[in-house]
Chain A
Amino acid sequence: MKTEARLLIGLGVFVLIMGIVYGIWSKELSGTVMLIGTGILGIFPGLYYRYWSKRMAGRPEDTDAPVDAGAGFIGSFPGSSIWPFVLGMGCWLMVLALVFGSWLAVIALPTITFALAGATAEGRRGGAASH
């Protein structure tokens, strides 16, 4: 976890310093704001990783652990789900509504709501079985 934190904080600090130098030198606002914002975007999650890296025991993937050190439950992965497809179609209709008229949003919004509800319920149930 330390390497992950260093990577993000390092990138963020570099861009932040670059933003400050650029801002002072150029006095141009849009680029300065974007650079400083980008720097913070790197530093913020980096500090989160740094916080946890100091409070967690070393993970098997961060050490010379043997493969069976990772045995046990590592996550739940849905075998299949229709909801990403339904949500994708809802988002597509929403974008088409921006082009062809808001009447399409009448179909798009319920589709998106239906898909989000379905995906949430599926997650709570434990998802679609794949075995």
Chain B
Amino acid sequence: MVDVLEPQTAAHDDHGHDEHHGPSGIMNWLTSTDHKVIGLNYTVTSIIMLVIGGAFAMLIRAQLTTPNGSVVTLAQYNELFTMHGSVMIYLFAGPFAFGGLANYMVPIQIGAPDMAFPRLNALSYWLYLTGSITMLLGFAVAGGAANFGWVGYAPLSDALNAPGAGADLWIGALLLTGFSAIFTGVNLVATIFYLRAPGMTMFRMPIFTWNMLVTGILILLAFPVLTAGLVMLYADRHFGTHIYDANHGGVPILWQNIFWFWGHPEVYILALPFFGMVTEIIPVFSRKPLFGYKGMVFATIAIAALSTGVWAHHMFTTGTVLLPFFSFMTYLISIPTGIKFFNWIGSMWGGQIRFTAAMLFAIGFLITFLIGGITGIILASPPLDFFTHDTYFVVAHFHSVVMALVIGAMAGLYYWFPKITGRFLNERIGKAQFWFLFLGSTIFTMPGYLLGLKGMPRRMAVYTLHPEWQHLNTLSSVGAWMIGFSTILFVINAVKTTRSPKTAGPNPWDAHTLEWFTTSPPPHHNFYALPNIRSERPTWDYYHPDAPALTHDDHDPSHMPNAAKGATK
């Protein structure tokens, strides 16, 4: 147990007082409670899940390339689309953001030595890893993996329609990963509330940290509801209850209400961390302060608040929901999201933009998310939703959203990789990867919108009665394979970089926030020294005393971007 003193303002001494002498190798992996080790474990595991979920997607697209595809059987296809969605949503997008990069970065961004509950943090990772293995075990049991879609709708998920261990493994995996998320939410909120460095007031926190705080609160509001729903589903399957069983007085729609009461906040639990990442990246590579810091904070809080009241827009066609309420609330959520977009554009406006790989990915995120967001607004209109419900239009809409998250994840990785490893990812490979990923995402999703409008339903393995859909499907598959190739480029880049020298230094991007004040990679307990914190850009203020951050009331022209050309110390 280490009693941590607040880092001193004096420079680091060379006596190694801050060096960590814990276990190494596999014992370090098994026993470490350091948030950086756990964050890296989460990041690597979630990227492996991205590759596995992506491989399922490649098989799905191969199957759909021709009208009567025979790459997989119809039963295997059901398992594939279920596990593709489940792996990507439950095991990649969320854990990558709030378990991986947030776990690593949030304590450093607020000047804390670790997460508030380090052992709980380690337990979160083990529950996540075992949950991931549990879900994938479905392919190894008789009857195969879960096959009722990633949303597990009753009665498709009951014991009659989904017998066998695959469905139970799916439920068990979600229980494990759900508790993992809840523990991480507790840790994020407690860390941000209690372990900020002196001077790091709430309205000086980096936007990524703000977004992770709101994400943590949303996790605590949403995940227990899903866990309760899963326990009831398991009880229906094995203990003879009939909670979702219409034949015995149960209510199948209750599952949809519970699932989406978790599921729509979950959309923002997935999206907010990536909003935070690009909000860190855009000002740094535009050489400007963030435009509208407080607006960004309030937009994040507004999105979280509104996200709890829109769940049934996924259920318009059930005929059981209050259409005007959910339609209106869904339209409202576009306002804070729009504020964010204007602020991102405002942060770039007039800046000296550096088109690094991280910045390209951040811009790609904006464009792709905008397409997903606008088509979401279309779907918020009940008449239009009734027309397109369960068609490829919906599939294309949410794939625009989640592909934006994948692009955002790459932005975060390229931005923070030097901090985490001390090494730069190769920029040329990164830019090539960006174009394959960005164009591939667009080519993959755009045909889906058209197919949806032509009436192609989701979750169909063959379309022999509609051979005219083949060209658009083939085009979509080409886009998917471009995305797959971009992932290979990333793996090559990451492996190649492990052999390169550590040349990053503490602040290679001339960035703003506190993680760029410490060494790359940071030492055990993160800091040898801290600067005084007087704005949301303490590292910038330290390196550029001649061009301090704008205060919220300061309109002195000398503080405008062109004044920020001074060399770093």
Contacts and interface: CB of A to CB of B under 8 A. Distances in A.
Given A38-B308, A77-B114, A99-B165, A91 B130 contact: yes
Interface string B118-130: 1110110111011
The interface centre, meaning the residue of B3, B198, B257, B261 with most chain A CB atoms within 10 A of its CB, is B198
A58 to B, nearest CB: 10
A76 B2 CA distance: 6
B130 A42 contact: no
Nearest to A131: B21
A14 B305 contact: yes
A11 B175 CA distance: 26
Contact of A88 (B123, B173, B193): B123
Pairs A-B, 4 closest by C-beta atoms: A88-B126, A127-B1, A60-B198, A84-B122
B308 A15 contact: yes
B464 interface: no
29 contacts: A10-B301, A11-B217, A22-B322, A25-B322, A26-B321, A38-B221, A60-B198, A61-B200, A62-B202, A65-B198, A65-B199, A66-B9, A66-B198, A66-B532, A67-B6, A67-B7, A67-B199, A67-B530, A70-B197, A71-B8, A74-B6, A75-B4, A75-B113, A78-B119, A80-B28, A80-B33, A85-B122, A92-B176, A96-B134
Contacts of B171: 98
Contacts of B22: 79-80, 130
Given A11-B304, A91-B130, A72 B203 contact: no
Interface of A: 3-4, 7-8, 10-11, 14-15, 18, 22, 25-26, 28, 30-31, 34-35, 38, 41-42, 49, 60-85, 87-89, 91-92, 95-96, 98-100, 119, 126-131
Contact of A61 (B130, B179, B196): B196
Contacts of B257: 30-31, 34
Interface of B: 1-9, 20-23, 27-28, 30-34, 113-114, 116, 118-120, 122-123, 125-127, 129-130, 133-134, 165, 168-169, 171-173, 175-176, 179, 193, 195-203, 217, 220-221, 225, 234, 238, 254, 257-258, 261, 301, 304-305, 308-309, 311-312, 320-322, 325, 329, 524-525, 530-534
Contacts of B325: 22, 25-26
Contact of B1 (A30, A41, A88, A129): A129
A63 B195 contact: no
B33 A35 contact: no
Contacts of B4: 74-77
Nearest to A60: B198
B176 A75 contact: no
Given A70-B6, A96-B172, A131-B2, 18 more contacts: A7-B301, A42-B217, A49-B193, A60-B198, A61-B201, A67-B9, A74-B5, A75-B116, A77-B525, A79-B1, A79-B34, A80-B22, A80-B33, A83-B119, A87-B123, A88-B127, A96-B134, A126-B1
A65 B530 CA distance: 13
A41 B322 CA distance: 24
A63 B126 contact: no
A110 to B, nearest CB: 18
